[in-house]
Amino acid sequence: MTKIAVGSALGLGLVLTGCTDTEEGSETQSPAESQAGEESAPSESQGSGSSEPSASSESSEDSEAKLPEDADLSKTMPKTTAADAVKIGQDKVKAKDGTLHAIELDYDSEDGKWEYDVKIKDGSTDHKVVIDAATGKVIRDESEDSDDKEKAIDLNSPMSYDEAYDLAKKKGEGRLSGWKLEYDDGQREYQFDFDDKGTETEVTVNVESKKVTVD
């Protein structure tokens, strides 16, 4: 098991107990909520060297699950939850004592899809597992040697996604275009990216002090 507490509601509680595909304007559930009774990802995503399927091989259900590039994450979330993504990343890395030190959700313009980046440090190897947020399939595992002293993050404690977003939205304008939770420079922080018709604002919330900063 990793050194994080993945929440009581799923095993994470991203908050982060059923999650549904939400349409814009409908009630939105926390990104860390899990899909009750569903596998978080198909088995083929767990194998090493798994790659993104071609567009022609994607099912219509997967296509319908995709969010548009300009989706507002404050109103709709991808089918794969943050809790799902953490589990997928852990299963891919197969590091029982690995340290989850970052998770991020944003739109990758090169891949043309919404993706989670799940970062897990296992000994001297730092893994970044990239996951398709619509299908839950592993796109790639980018690994490198690292001497950085990483500390574990927790999607629920000491601050949940919802608590952090409630603080951040007071400082950000426009749609929520991405977010992440990471350990960086001795701090555990949520970062929310807002896009107001091209004007971008980055709002950071320290999970211990609850201090909010704007860049």
Is the dihedral angle over the CA atoms 180, 68, 15, 5 positive or is it negative?
negative
Indicate whether 40 pLDDT > 80.
Answer: no
Is residue 95 very low, low, confident or very high in pLDDT (cuts 50, 70, 90)? confident
- pLDDT at position 70 is 96
Q: Which long-range contacts (CB under 8 A, 24 or more apart) does 17-20 make?
A: 19/77, 19/79, 19/81
- Residue where the block lists tokens 């009581």: 8
Indicate whether 56 pLDDT > 60.
Answer: no
Indicate whether 13 pLDDT > 80.
Answer: no
Indicate whether 48 pLDDT > 50.
Answer: no
For 54-99, give the secondary structure using H, E and C. Answer: CHHHCCHHHHHHCCCCCCCCCCCCCCCCHHHHHHHHHHHHCCCCCE
Tell me the average pLDDT across 99-119: 97
Non-local CB neighbours of 80 within 8 Å, separated by 6+ positions: 40, 41, 88, 116, 131, 132, 133, 134, 135, 136
pTM for this prediction: 0.73
- Which is more confidently placed, 21 or 183? 183
Indicate whether 1 pLDDT > 70.
Answer: no
Dig out the tokens for 7 from the structure.
Answer: 């929440």
Indicate whether 115 pLDDT > 60.
Answer: yes
Tell me the average pLDDT across 187-207: 97
- The answer to whether residues 118 and 128 touch, using CB atoms and an 8 Å cutoff, is yes
- pLDDT at position 67 is 94
Distance of CA 173 to the CA centre of its chain: 21
Tell me the average pLDDT across 105-115: 97
